[in-house]
Structures are given as structure tokens and as C-alpha cells.
Structure 1
Amino acid sequence: MVENISFRNKEVEIAGHLHLPENFSEGKKYPALVGIHPAGGVKEQTIGAYAERLAEHGFVTVVYDSSYQGASGGEPRLLEDPTTRVEDARCAADFLTTLPFVDSERMGVFGICAGGGYAISVAQTERRFKAVATVSAAPMGEGSRGFLGHLSPVAEQIGTLEMVAQQRTAEARGAEPAYAPFVPETPEEINETTPDLLREGYDYYRTPRGQHPNSKGRFLLTSMDKMFAFSAFDQIPELLTQPLLLIAGSKADTKVFSDQAYELSKGPKELFVVDGATHIALYDVPKYVDQAIPKMAEFFAVL
């Protein structure tokens, strides 16, 4: 069962889907989950598929398009603002607490790709989330300041920020917004040196495999200063005391982030490695997703 729902993050209306368990009864109390989609993604893609499967295991699960993206409101469009993304998840928790069939003491959060980074971030300061799980986690702040776990030279980071500053000035003076793609936009941009994350990202987001008209696969260039200023991992050792499950493919070029989060966590934690899976394979390849879902259901059973 899937219902269209909406809630607000301040003045922005958020469009979401509420996935309900089979044989759902409003007279019962259910554990509930908030799911956070990848950067450039929408609720109808991989995060929705995970939500549907988790609902089959008895969890009321809400997924949504982030502020400024997809079917949700907010201007400017395609802004990737990590702080707002974290607040979106808090507001989703607010929404769940208003539902009489949700046990507000049994809520968790999960995310895929950048959504995994945001799930880790929000759990550090949102105590209503009693457990957090990630799939192919790729934290946006750490990822933007480098590439696949390799920090960019400071001079290069400053150069990027200088470019963003110039673009903000240009737009303030009336120039058109500039955008950057999350994944290659044409097959011609892919060659033998292209990382698996980007190669397979094209196949998922730019072909019928996973594309959706609301998923543009690009972001407002002036998001970069906000991304650089953000860290999903900085307070893990002190504040992330809830149980943490990190799911990553053995062949994922982003596995380094799950390794880092695991090492930083001092609370209950598990790194579940799916043998043979790449980053994107955990989005929709059945033989890999069929390993991730039961693991998540078992993990969230602690709620």
C-alpha cells in the first residue's frame, strides 16, 4: 500500500510516499522508517523500491523528494543544500509522529548514496531516530571536497570556491543559473578511465533502467559552497550512539566512506559487505538488493 502524502519544511511543501505494511491496520502501532534518496534522485527510484520492500517486513516507511527537487517545492530549483536535506529528514520524522498508527518511540532512518550520508548526519542530533542504516553511503560534504575518499589539494578546493563565488556574483547581476551533472549526461563522456560510480550512474539515471522525469541528475552550481561547508562525519564519535548498519558492495568505489564511518563510530555498529556488488548495483540488481533488504529488516527489528 502506497499513499501520496505531503509535509512541510518551513515554507517548502515536501511531496512524499507513505509505504504501509501488508494487512495494515490503523488500530495497530508500527515501527517507522524515514528513507533519504541519493543526490539527484527522487522517491520513485531506488529509495522507493527499498521502502516498498521494508514495508513488506512490517515497517511504515516514508520517502520523499528533497526540498527544491523532484515534485517538492522550493526555489531555486535543483539546489543541493545539505543542511536543508538534513532538516527534510527531521520534518519527515515530525510527520510520522502525527500518525496514530506509528510508534514514535520506534523510528529509524536509512539512506542510499548521498542519502546515506544525510542519514548518518541527522541521526547524530535527531534522537527520535533510534537506529540508522546506509546503503552505498557517499557523504556529500566529504565527497565534494575530494573524490572517492581522496581529499583534493587545498588550492584546488579554493579554486572551486572562487568559481562558485564568481557564479553567484554573475547570477546576482542577472545571469542564468549554471548547473553541474551528478553523472555523465551522454555516453560520449564515458571512456575506459571513467570510474564505475559514474559509468553505472549514467546507466541508472540516464536510461530506462532507473530514469524518471523528475530526476534531473544535476544540481545548481552554487550549491557547492554549502556542500563544502558540510560534514556528515564530524560528530560521529561523540554523538552517533544509536546502532549503525553500513551496507556496501565489495567492488564499490565508494566503500571507503562506509569504512571511514565504521572506524569513527564508537557505538553499536556493523559493516555488511555484499560480495561482488558495486555502488549502483545495490540500487536495483536483485541478487544484491535481496541481500541488503533482509539485513536491514533484521537490523531495524531492534526498534
Structure 2
Amino acid sequence: MSGHILELSQNVERKKVVYRNRYGLDITGELYFKKGISLNQKHPALIIGAPYGGVKEQGPCVYGNELAQKGFIVLTFDQSFMGESGGFPRNVSSPDIFVENFSAAVDFLGMQRFVDREKIGVIGICGSGGFALSAAQCDTRIRAVAVMSMYDMNVAVRGNMNKEELQAVKERLSNQRWLDAENGYPEYLPGFPEQPIDKVPEDIPEPGAEWFRFYALKRGHHPNARGGFTTTSELAIMNFRPLDFIDEISPRPILFVVGDRAHSRFFSDAAYERALEPKEMLVVEDAEHIDLYDRRDRIPFDRLAEFFTVTPMPRLGHHHE
């Protein structure tokens, strides 16, 4: 069914949904729920954000399939300009809109009669981890956040460049805007082939080879996730710092989950240091970054279910019984 990387469990139902964000852009998502669950009762709900450049049929479908069986209503979605969601030109990255889309997902779930508004949590994978935390900084309806192999895209794009190197990148990207304006459409250079390949080319260094191990092979390939965004999208990312107010998520809890071999672990370490209690760091043994996308033998689903069930989800300024 439309290229999901995991066959749906016979115990789970999946339903396509479309709703709008505050910019009026259509967001296409999928609701997962356990077969036989009463839709006349209210249940806890989870929103799953795909890796940066990924779509709902990849990692999020794995999470939806597993967590729905544990009693959650699960919503996966494609970011604006990606997959089946609206927005034009395609493959544009807009961090402000990507953050907004988590709140739009909360809007949608909270309007469903079978969702408990007081128990809506978010799981962000890779780049969505940063955007999910950014959303939770201001949207107090998000009661708890778990981030898996988190990336802070601002830090990822800026890297360790000095002032001169940074200036050169800005000059190149700014001049690309002239070309985009003249062409009438922004440049987009896909990073992965249109069809899945059998093995990663040997001349690709890490961590690029790791991305290929997921996105280019049958394991994770999807035609709507060809890698990267329009070239000048990097300017927007460089100008947007998603985690400046991470300390304001407290007293709502954050769970950081990383693989012990993840090249990206330092992002979670840095965010964990800046976050206030309650917070937890869970290190998964023998796991690289992409293993938390789809490896059901590595992703700690029982711990995630416990975190979002047992963890109190306080509403600021209210006494919660």
C-alpha cells in the first residue's frame, strides 16, 4: 500500500486523513489504531514526526504499527511541501512551518472524539526531534516529547564553519536565489536514486553511506523521499534556531533516545544538557543512527509506551487530577 516499508499488523487499522495547518496548507497524515478499540471512549494519542526529508510511509509507519497495538491513537504525517501534503514548490524546507505542523497535528487529534486532549504526546525522529522540541517549547498542549536519534538541523547545516567559511556558503546560496528567480523555480538536487539499489556505492564516505543504507536500499526507499531539499532551503535552516527555549518545556518531560554508535549522538547530549528536569537519556546498545528509524529489535517501544502512559503530563497553571 503506497510503499510503506513495513506491512501493517493484522491487529491495526490505518486510515488516511487530511487537515490544515495555520497557514491553510493541507497536511496528509495517517491514523493508526488497534482493531476493536472503542472509538466512543477517549484514548491517549501520539504524533510521529518523520526524519528530515523522510515521509510517513518510512520510519513513522513502523512506530504507528507498534504503538497502536499498545493502545495509542497514532498520527503520522508528511511535512508541508513533502510527500502527499500540500505546499508548492515541492521539497522546500521551512523550519517555521515544520514546527507549526506539530501543533496542527495536535489541533487535528484534539478534535477527534476518541482522543484525550490531556494525553497528547509527540515522538520526533532525527530532524523532527528538533522540530518537535521546538513546538513543545511554546505549545503546552504537547504533554511529553520523546526524540529518537535527534538532529538539530541548524547545528547540522552550520557545522563547525568559521566566519569566512560561513560567509562563503551564504554568498553561494544567495547567488543561487538569483538563478532560482531567473528560472522561476528553485533548484532541487535529489540525493538518492528514484528506484532502490542493491548496495551502497563504495566511494560514499560516512555518514553519507549511512543515509544510503536506509533511503537508497529497499530497507527504507520511498519515491517521495529522494533526499535533501531545495538548495536555498539551507538559508532558512541557518536562520532558525529550534532549541533556544528548550528549558521552557519543563515541567513536561522529555525522553532522549540514541544509539550507542550513532554519529548524531552529540545533538542529543547537547540538548539534554540544556533541558531541565524531568528528562531522561536512554542509550540503545548496538545501534547506529538509522536503526531507530525502523529496527523493531532496537527501538524501545515498551519504554516509549511506558513513558507516555506513566509519565504525568502536567498542564501549566492547572491542577491535573
Using the size of structure 1 for normalisation, the TM-score is 0.92
Q: Does 1:300 align with 2:308?
A: yes
1:219 pairs with 229, 234, 252, which one?
229
Moved more, 33-42 or 167-176: 167-176
Q: Does 1:31 align with 2:56?
A: no
Give yes or no for contact 2:263–2:289 (8 Å, CA) kept in 1.
yes
Q: How far 1:55 sits from its partner (Å)?
A: 1.0
Query: Hey, what does 1:191 align to over in structure 2?
Result: 203
Deviations 1:20-70 (A, max 9, x none): 134211111101111111111100001111122111111111111000011
Give yes or no for contact 1:69–1:77 (8 Å, CA) kept in 2.
yes
1:282 pairs with 282, 285, 292, which one?
292
Query: Hey, what does 2:173 align to over in structure 1?
Result: 164
- SS for the counterpart of 1:4 is strand
- Distance in 1 separating the partners of 2:200 and 2:216: 13
Query: Hey, what does 2:7 align to over in structure 1?
Result: none
1:13 pairs with 7, 14, 26, which one?
26
Change (3 A) 1:248 1:85: same
- SS for the counterpart of 2:76 is strand
Q: Does 1:71 align with 2:79?
A: no
Query: Hey, what does 2:143 align to over in structure 1?
Result: 130
Q: Does 1:154 align with 2:167?
A: no
Q: Does 1:265 align with 2:272?
A: no
Give yes or no for contact 1:183–1:201 (8 Å, CA) kept in 2.
no
Q: Does 1:208 align with 2:227?
A: no
Deviations 1:69-118 (A, max 9, x none): 11111111101111110011111111011100101111111110001111
- Distance in 2 separating the partners of 1:228 and 1:183: 23
Runs of 5+ in structure 2 lacking a partner?
1-12, 314-321
Q: How far 1:198 sits from its partner (Å)?
A: 2.1
Give yes or no for contact 2:191–2:226 (8 Å, CA) kept in 1.
no
Structure 1 segments, 4+ long, off by >4 Å, are 180-190
- Distance in 1 separating the partners of 2:289 and 2:267: 11
Query: Hey, what does 2:58 align to over in structure 1?
Result: 45
Counting aligned pairs with the same residue, the percent is 37
Give yes or no for contact 1:6–1:14 (8 Å, CA) kept in 2.
yes
Q: How far 1:176 sits from its partner (Å)?
A: 5.0
Matches within 5 A, 1:112-127: 112-127=125-140
Give yes or no for contact 1:141–1:227 (8 Å, CA) kept in 2.
yes
Change (3 A) 1:31 1:159: same
- SS for the counterpart of 1:3 is strand
- Distance in 2 separating the partners of 1:17 and 1:265: 31
- Distance in 1 separating the partners of 2:226 and 2:145: 27
Give yes or no for contact 2:258–2:289 (8 Å, CA) kept in 1.
yes
User: In proportion to residue count, which structure has more helix?
Assistant: 1
Q: How far 1:239 sits from its partner (Å)?
A: 4.1
- Distance in 2 separating the partners of 1:104 and 1:6: 19
Change (3 A) 1:237 1:122: same
Matches within 5 A, 1:227-242: 227-242=237-252
Q: How far 1:191 sits from its partner (Å)?
A: 3.4
Using the size of structure 2 for normalisation, the TM-score is 0.87
Q: Please tell me the residue identity of whatever aligns with 2:283.
A: V
Give yes or no for contact 2:259–2:292 (8 Å, CA) kept in 1.
yes
Moved more, 22-31 or 262-271: 22-31
- Distance in 2 separating the partners of 1:136 and 1:182: 20
Deviations 1:148-198 (A, max 9, x none): xxx222222222111111111222122653224567998786537x22x32
Give yes or no for contact 1:41–1:215 (8 Å, CA) kept in 2.
yes
Deviations 1:244-290 (A, max 9, x none): 0000000001000111111111120000000110001122223212x
